[in-house]
């Protein structure tokens, strides 16, 4: 039976470690870390994500600067909001909650965020820093996967890793981070020929295809470490039911074959949120010349 890579438990542990670091650094810094989350419009899922992030900030001692703008806010107004937050010395991290309402140019807005406050790690400069192996905020979801693997003591050096998915948000930075940890990395995508054969060759499989239940027993060799990044809500079975969450992997089939498996929910999701806090506290520590925060994590 696969060992469960419990992201919920590790995220709680990392929150405690961050809270202690914030408490210890308050005297020297003279203020708590600050995270600004910009939400535009009324996407219900975004409202839940932002509320979760704010609660998590509260637990760690990060001050939240929430900005909620109406759906018809224009590009210029949002640019001004970002520029003000860039200049605000109490704000260490800025996050633009995606997706944005139609008509807004998300790329231009992400580009306007000060790269040193880009706690989502999506600014081209930070993606470039990752490519070059230089310091800088790392994309939260793949950084969360790396932290899970690291704290579980899973050695990556020399491992055959397959990343399914090549998005800028997950697949591409994931592949770079695994490569930097000296894994031998293959990236699969929608045009990959014989995906199942590629999967069966892998010793570590990270699945971020955004396809519910894409891979099952047929894709796993015994002893593989399986990380399921996908998250989907299944159709409700009964009226009033919300429908269960599932991933890109059919967990029930894989758990008897894999050596380790991330659950959905409770695997990669909580790690994504906690890495946002890690990035914020790191930016705060850097700007106050405090010791590096959780330097052993990527």
Q: Does position 249 bind ligand NAP by CB under 6 A? A: no
> Is 97 annotated as catalytic?
yes
Subset of 210-239 contacting ligand NAP (CB under 6 A): 210-211, 214, 229-231
Chain-centre distance for alpha carbon 182: 21
Supply angle C-alpha 232, 163, 105, rounded to 5. Answer: 65
Q: Residue 8, interface with ligand NAP (CB under 6 A)? A: no
**Active site includes 118?**
no
164 counts as binding ligand NAP under rule CB under 6 A: yes
- Cβ pair 67, 41 in contact under 8 A: no
CB of 183 to ligand NAP, least distance (A): 19
Q: Does 167 show up as a binding residue in the annotation? A: yes
Question: Residue 84 or 234: which CB sits closer to ligand NAP?
Answer: 234
Catalytic residue among 6, 92, 118, 120: 120
The span from the CA of 66 to the CA of 280, in Å, is: 15
Q: What's the token pair of residue 106?
A: 């998300």
Contacts (CB under 6 A) with ligand NAP, residues 189-208: 189-192, 195, 208
Question: Considering the rule CB under 6 A, would residue 107 count as an interface residue with ligand NAP?
Answer: no
Distance (Å, whole) CA 242 – CA 223:
34
Hey, CA dihedral for 143, 149, 151, 153, is it positive or negative? negative
Contact characters 271-290, ligand NAP, x per CB under 6 A? -x------------------
- Near ligand NAP by CB under 6 A: residue from 104, 169, 199, 206: 169
Q: Are strands 232-233 and 245-246 parallel, antiparallel or unpaired?
A: antiparallel
Residue 244 assigned to a binding site: no
Alpha helices, DSSP H, located in 138-260: 140-151, 171-180, 195-201, 251-254
- Asked if 120 is an active-site residue, the reply is yes
| Distance (Å, whole) CA 92 – CA 282 | 9
* Binding interface with ligand NAP (CB under 6 A): 141, 164-167, 169-171, 188-192, 195, 208-211, 214, 229-231, 268-269, 272
């Amino acid at each position: 039976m696969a060992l469960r890579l419990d992201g919920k438990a590790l995220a709680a542990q990392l929150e405690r470690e961050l809270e202690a670091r914030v408490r210890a650094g308050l005297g020297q810094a003279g203020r708590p870390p600050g995270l600004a989350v910009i939400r535009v419009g009324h996407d219900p899922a975004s409202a839940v994500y932002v509320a979760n992030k704010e609660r998590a900030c509260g637990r760690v001692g990060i001050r939240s600067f929430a900005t909620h703008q109406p759906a018809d806010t224009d590009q210029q107004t949002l640019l001004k909001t970002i520029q003000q937050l860039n200049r605000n010395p109490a704000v260490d991290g800025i996050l633009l909650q995606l997706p944005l309402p139609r008509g807004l140019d998300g790329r231009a807005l992400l580009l306007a965020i000060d790269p040193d406050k880009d706690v989502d790690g999506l600014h081209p400069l930070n993606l470039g820093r990752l490519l070059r192996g230089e310091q800088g905020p790392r994309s939260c979801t793949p950084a969360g996967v790396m932290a899970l693997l690291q704290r579980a003591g899973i050695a990556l050096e020399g491992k055959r890793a397959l990343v399914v998915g090549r998005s800028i948000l997950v697949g591409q930075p994931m592949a770079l981070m695994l490569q930097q940890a000296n894994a031998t990395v293959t990236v699969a995508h929608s045009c990959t020929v014989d995906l199942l054969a590629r999967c069966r060759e892998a010793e570590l499989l990270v699945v971020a295809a955004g396809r519910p239940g894409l891979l099952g027993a047929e894709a796993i060799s015994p002893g593989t470490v399986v990380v399921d990044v996908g998250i989907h809500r299944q159709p409700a079975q009964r009226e009033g039911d919300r429908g269960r969450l599932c991933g890109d992997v059919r967990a029930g089939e894989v758990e008897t074959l894999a050596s380790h498996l991330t659950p959905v929910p409770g695997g990669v999701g909580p790690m994504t949120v906690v890495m946002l806090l890690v990035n914020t506290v790191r930016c705060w520590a850097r700007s106050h010349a405090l010791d590096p925060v959780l330097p052993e994590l990527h």
